[in-house]
Structure 1
């Protein structure tokens, strides 16, 4: 009796089982939108979004599922109104880094390994008269290997955005108001975040705190003026002088 066909059939079945296990493990490794099917690639062109940010989030989820990262490439704005009307998001391996020297001495600076490959994959969105954003151009052809391991693809910068979430910003703000430094805030955030999210850095914490202080700078200044005005009612000998810039923003008190 020839056992060769039976052995080959068992080997194929074994390979199928192993492949199935790998697929199940990878899909459970990352929280992927179940409605986002790779077979729907051809339907990307023509999709409509309420905002450019919504389109970016869609393409970023698409990139996470398909094994690459993205970045914002360019935005065109109306010269008269300054309103954006067209944006393009590209694969993070688009183009090549400029390796020319930036100093007058001509010395070549040491740089990190260039990981860009000149990839031409991109998505372009344009704003219609109704205010909606539509995908009018889409290219999904990459000139590099795509990463099919979720725990690796999630390390791309576009997928590691935990420090931009409202909950994370709120926690950073509370820790900053309590007197903690950015390097200390970083340790706290990295302890409580999900293991699938990238670690935040001290600079990211500092940038979030600076951005928040800018938003409240004017409110704090005029709150101080209101406080002095209230004290004037109680003490007529109190006085204060406010110095403003030409645009009306506070300079000094």
Structure 2
């Protein structure tokens, strides 16, 4: 990440220095002209900033080139942007839900330049709602993604094979990563999907194993075919 100004310099997401009254690393604030190598880098920068400040983000609108059709601009915004209208009317049995969108205008706009880098072209810092603590902010969908990581899924499988249940697996994962907030339900969903995806493979492996025994064991052939 760099700046397009004459005094451009590299900028890390997390600053090693800490405030005198805090042991948590601070996260740099986005600014116009900040440059990223890719859309993903911009997304994770803004998401890290959002976690530190106390809100979640979502992907917003995009703009495409008329000539090529490629995306040339993208917006990331507070997950409380826009408005959600309630359809609960008089005499309706539908329960009213807490409003999660309050038309917040906080956002980060990026655009691809001639060097195929992504430059911040707009940044609104202010929110029209209360912000969460970093601990509560971890519950937002944009921050609660660790359970989808391949290595974490592999660890879930290993812990389950060792005889641990979903609740204990979730507790271990959360204790070993202070920035994670994995629920027992998320672990259960993964384990269920893993077992479902492996049903066909398990049957295939069993058939292959039986065929190997048949081909290498004359007695097996005799007993099986006679």
**TM-score with structure 2 length normalisation?**
0.62
Instruction: Name which one, 1 or 2, has greater alpha-carbon Rg.
Output: 1
**2:36 is the alignment partner of 1:47:** yes
Which structure has the highest helix share of the two?
1
Cα distance in 1, alignment partners of residues 141 and 87 from structure 2? 24
Aligned to 2:5: none
Pairing 1:1-253 to 2, within 5 Å after superposition: 24-26=20-22, 28-29=23-24, 31-32=25-26, 36=28, 38=29, 41-44=31-34, 46-49=35-38, 52-73=39-60, 85=71, 88-100=75-87, 106-111=92-97, 113-123=98-108, 134-135=118-119, 138-145=122-129, 147=131, 150-151=134-135, 153-154=137-138, 156-165=140-149, 168-190=152-174, 192-194=175-177, 196-213=178-195, 216=198, 219-233=201-215, 234=217, 235-236=220-221, 238=224
Residue 60 of structure 1: CA displacement? 0.7
Q: Which moved more, 1:63-72 or 1:153-162?
A: 153-162
Aligned to 2:14: none
**In 1, are the aligned partners of 2:111 and 2:121 still within 8 Å (CA)?**
no
Residue 70 of structure 1: CA displacement? 1.0
Cα distance in 2, alignment partners of residues 98 and 148 from structure 1? 23
**What residue ranges of structure 1 are gaps of 5+ in the alignment?**
1-21, 78-83, 240-253
Cα distance in 1, alignment partners of residues 205 and 75 from structure 2? 42
Q: Structure 1 residues 187, 123: closer, same or farther in 2, change over 3 A?
A: same
Which structure has the highest strand share of the two?
2
Residue 62 of structure 1: CA displacement? 2.5
Q: Please give the secondary structure, in 2, of the residue aligned with 1:89.
A: strand
Moved over 6 A (4+): 74-77, 126-130
**TM-score with structure 1 length normalisation?**
0.57
CA-based RMSD: 4.1
